[in-house]
A and B are shown apart, each in its own frame.
Chain A
Amino acid sequence: MKLRRCSKILAVTAALAIAGLGAAHAQQPSSIRIGYAVSKTGPYAGGATTTTLPNYQLWVKEINDAGGIKVGDRRLPIEVVEYDDRSSSEEAVRAIERLINQDKVDFVLAPWGTALNLAVGPVLDRAGYPHLAVTSVSDMITQLSKRWKNAFFFGDTSANYARGVVSVLDQLRKDGKIGDTVAMVSVADQFGIELSKAAQAALDKAGFKLVYNQNYPIGTQDLQSLVNEMRRRNPDVVLAFSYPPDTIAFTDQAKALGLNPKVFYTAVGTAFPLYKQRFGDNIEGVMGTGGINPNSPAIKDYMERHQKALGKEPDRWLSPVTYASLQVLQQAIERAGTLDRQAVAKEIRSGTFDTIVGQISLQDQVYSGGWMVGQWQNGEFQAIAPLNRDGARPALVPKPAWK
């Protein structure tokens, strides 16, 4: 019986200890405690360690090197509490609860990915923490921002990304550079399907002919059959709403099997340094989700600092946006002059912020100034859509054949 009672006592004391721990932190803060749980392991790790984690590290390092964030008349350095959510919704929820209840952090940074941002959303909302979600692309964003008043979305809706792609195609067709046959595949995942549905609707409306439209299970790296089917149909445009491993695989197999459309588009991962490394000169002309304005001095400077501090390049889609979201947080804290979360959230909602991606204001809790489509041009992932925005360049078409 001893063990029984023991484990019971253990459970109760554990619960109590857990409840009571860390209640000490209060009074005059000497630092800002910032916590985050991102996927260092598991299926999301590839994305999280490319886009999210490096920017968190870079930002913290830069702030602490400069003496901290200015709160009132003092500079407070950042103290980091970090966890690994192991790509699991349940772990992510618990890690955030640990950050809030145990570690009593002042602010929580968002996890990577739509699923995890949605999983931790209610917890952050309930506890009144500002939630700056970047790597979360979903058509639900507008609805979610109504539900969670302190949530801010820096990724756009899937529909907008899809419309961005179609706007590029439409322009190219008007310019007489491409015909109207499109072959499309997507990963069978919320992101891929939302994008392909939206793209299908936009393509139909614009009068494009969809000669092939299929999806494949997540995790598939063998896309030879798809590539062959596409090749047989000889489309002008190939769109793949894919994830990093399949983006690489699809490009690789398209190259191997000689699928040479005028427009070649792959989604997540095209903007990763990995893509450039892997395909070298062959990246020229490939389109993908995201993009940057490489001529912007702020972006240039950011890329250099990223490279210097972390020894690797950032991705060219949401990396700069992630960093910008942190700048928003920092400036909001400084303007509020306090660590009070409500005040900071209010500041984020109402202010306009100067960031590396330009001016950001989040009145509707959504940042829609991101780039929708980029294209590798001369070794840089140049933004090409939205078409008329400052910094966008015209698309280079046709894409040179694979070498």
Chain B
Amino acid sequence: MTLRQLLLLTAGVGLLAAAALTPLIGSGYAMSMAINLLMFTALATAWALFSGPTGYISLATVAFFGIGAYTVAVVGEALPWGLVLALAAGLGFLVALVVGLSTLRLRGVYFVIFTFGLAELIRQLVTWYEANHAGSVGRFVFLDISQAQIVWQLTAVTAVVFLLGALLQRSRLGLTLRMIGDDETVALHCGANTTAAKLLAFSLSAALMALVGAIVAPRWTYLDPTIAFNPVVSFQVLIMALLGGAGRLYGPLLGVIPLVLLFEYLSAHFPNHFSILLGVTFLAIVYLVPNGVAGLAERYLGRPRPSQPAAAAPAQPKEGTS
């Protein structure tokens, strides 16, 4: 292990420890913030596990998040919690597998909008099922899970996401994914099983998202498809990851922290002009931080660029060939 890796590891562990400690030292509000930060960190990093190296931009985040949340709403009281979580992750994985199989031919923006359509389709089907067969569209989640437990579970999931990410980068699978991001045709000609690689990464990332959804669900008491499958979540995750820099494992984190704090600051201080100020700040960031926060950090810290491409880019055929 190099010094750099060791330092990264310490910093990561430190951050997670800080998050895990909030229930002990902070108020309900501090926990609330911790939950928010952890939730988006886990989601955005899980998103980047697949979308970062391959460049396939997915807007299906909330589909899996919602599947996780709904699993809790449906079986949360009937099964032990551990089993519920496993079921949520498993369902997320399975759905992603099926979806992945059908989307293999899609590239670029077609993939982006397909994933969005998918999330909406799932939402509509759940609504239809609930309205016609379950008798009510809303569901109640009354579980004895405290805020502190949510914080700890999220911390654990976040740790797992990072661990998986680190393992993935070093694995053959990670290499294949990066090759796909560089040039899928070449990757295919090199004998890489691109289909299996994409499927596996997509499903893994989906399982993690579903897990996050399941953990957070008890916080809201009431769930309906509009809440569980709110497309805004997909967009937020996408924006945070892109802003941080989806090419590096820690990139999304660097997008999540400033954006969550910004959202919070603006909504606490300017409830009436939140939208305008958020928009202006956002534009400023986009123009002033062209390569994502991770890129900025590296420029100023003079760290050598890692070998993988700055993959915050969709798998679009290069200029002019579409």
Query: Which of A4, A5, A93 lies at the interface centre, i.e. has the most chain B CB atoms within 10 A of its CB?
Result: A4
Known: A4-B8, A122-B221. A18 touches B267 (CB 8 A): no
Residue of A nearest to B226 (CB): A218
List, in ascending order, chain B residues with CB within 8 A of A119's CB: 219-222
Chain A nearest CB from B153 CB (Å) reads 16
Known: A1-B301, A89-B222, A147-B142. A197 touches B136 (CB 8 A): yes
Contact between B220 and A90, CB atoms less than 8 A apart = yes
Partner of B27, one of A18, A90, A94, A114: A18
Given the complex of chains A and B, what is the CA–CA distance between A256 and B224 in angstroms?
33
Partner of B15, one of A11, A91, A138: A11
List, in ascending order, chain B residues with CB within 8 A of A94's CB: 29, 32-33, 36, 264
Interface residues as binary, B249-288 with A (CB distance below 8 Å gives 1, 0 otherwise): 0000010010001001001100110110000000000000
Interface of B is mostly: helix
Contact between B28 and A100, CB atoms less than 8 A apart = yes
Contact between B138 and A93, CB atoms less than 8 A apart = no
Determine whether B26 belongs to the interface, using a CB cutoff of 8 Å to chain A.
yes
Determine whether B140 belongs to the interface, using a CB cutoff of 8 Å to chain A.
yes
Interface residues as binary, A82-96 with B (CB distance below 8 Å gives 1, 0 otherwise): 111010111101110
Given the complex of chains A and B, what is the CA–CA distance between A344 and B259 in angstroms?
39
Chain A nearest CB from B10 CB (Å) reads 8
How many cross-chain pairs have Cβ atoms below 8 Å apart between A and B? Answer: 154
Contact between B18 and A11, CB atoms less than 8 A apart = yes
Given the complex of chains A and B, what is the CA–CA distance between A313 and B53 in angstroms?
56
List, in ascending order, chain A residues with CB within 8 A of B226's CB: 43, 115, 189, 218
Chain B nearest CB from A143 CB (Å) reads 8
Determine whether B74 belongs to the interface, using a CB cutoff of 8 Å to chain A.
no
Determine whether A8 belongs to the interface, using a CB cutoff of 8 Å to chain B.
yes
Which B215-265 residues sit within 8 Å CB-CB of chain A?
Answer: 216, 219-222, 224, 226-227, 230, 232, 254, 257, 261, 264
Known: A15-B26, A15-B33, A83-B268. A193 touches B221 (CB 8 A): no
Partner of B221, one of A5, A121, A190: A121
List, in ascending order, chain A residues with CB within 8 A of B19's CB: 11
Contact between A19 and B140, CB atoms less than 8 A apart = no
Binds A, one of B123-131, B187-195, B203-211: B123-131
Chain B nearest CB from A268 CB (Å) reads 15
Determine whether A102 belongs to the interface, using a CB cutoff of 8 Å to chain B.
yes
Contact between B26 and A19, CB atoms less than 8 A apart = yes
Interface residues as binary, B26-49 with A (CB distance below 8 Å gives 1, 0 otherwise): 111111111011000000000000
Query: Which of B137, B227, B300 lies at the interface centre, i.e. has the most chain A CB atoms within 10 A of its CB?
Result: B137
Determine whether A41 belongs to the interface, using a CB cutoff of 8 Å to chain B.
yes
Determine whether B78 belongs to the interface, using a CB cutoff of 8 Å to chain A.
no
Chain A nearest CB from B306 CB (Å) reads 16
Contact between A93 and B261, CB atoms less than 8 A apart = no
Determine whether B135 belongs to the interface, using a CB cutoff of 8 Å to chain A.
yes
- Chain B interfacial residues counted at CB < 8 A: 55
Contact between A188 and B128, CB atoms less than 8 A apart = yes
List, in ascending order, chain A residues with CB within 8 A of B1's CB: none
Contact between B128 and A118, CB atoms less than 8 A apart = no
Contact between B224 and A100, CB atoms less than 8 A apart = no
Determine whether A174 belongs to the interface, using a CB cutoff of 8 Å to chain B.
no
Known: A83-B271, A118-B221, A121-B221. A4 touches B26 (CB 8 A): no
Given the complex of chains A and B, what is the CA–CA distance between A11 and B258 in angstroms?
11
Given the complex of chains A and B, what is the CA–CA distance between A15 and B151 in angstroms?
13
List, in ascending order, chain A residues with CB within 8 A of B30's CB: 15, 18-19, 101
List, in ascending order, chain A residues with CB within 8 A of B8's CB: 4
Chain B nearest CB from A323 CB (Å) reads 22
Given the complex of chains A and B, what is the CA–CA distance between A123 and B274 in angstroms?
24
Determine whether A140 belongs to the interface, using a CB cutoff of 8 Å to chain B.
yes
Given the complex of chains A and B, what is the CA–CA distance between A19 and B21 in angstroms?
12
Given the complex of chains A and B, what is the CA–CA distance between A2 and B298 in angstroms?
11
Given the complex of chains A and B, what is the CA–CA distance between A215 and B301 in angstroms?
58
Given the complex of chains A and B, what is the CA–CA distance between A123 and B35 in angstroms?
15
Known: A3-B301, A193-B131, A217-B127. A100 touches B222 (CB 8 A): no
List, in ascending order, chain B residues with CB within 8 A of A18's CB: 26-27, 29-30, 33
Chain B nearest CB from A310 CB (Å) reads 16
Pairs A-B, 9 closest by C-beta atoms: A190-B138, A118-B222, A101-B29, A4-B11, A101-B27, A188-B131, A89-B220, A19-B26, A84-B271
Given A14-B261, A101-B30, A218-B127; 12 other pairs, CB 8 A cutoff: A3-B300, A12-B18, A15-B25, A18-B33, A88-B227, A97-B28, A97-B31, A101-B27, A115-B138, A118-B221, A119-B221, A217-B128
A–B complex contacts, Cβ < 8 Å, 26 sampled: A1-B7, A3-B254, A3-B300, A4-B11, A7-B254, A15-B30, A15-B34, A18-B26, A83-B271, A89-B222, A90-B216, A95-B267, A97-B27, A98-B29, A100-B28, A101-B30, A102-B27, A115-B224, A119-B220, A119-B222, A122-B221, A138-B138, A188-B127, A190-B136, A193-B137, A194-B136
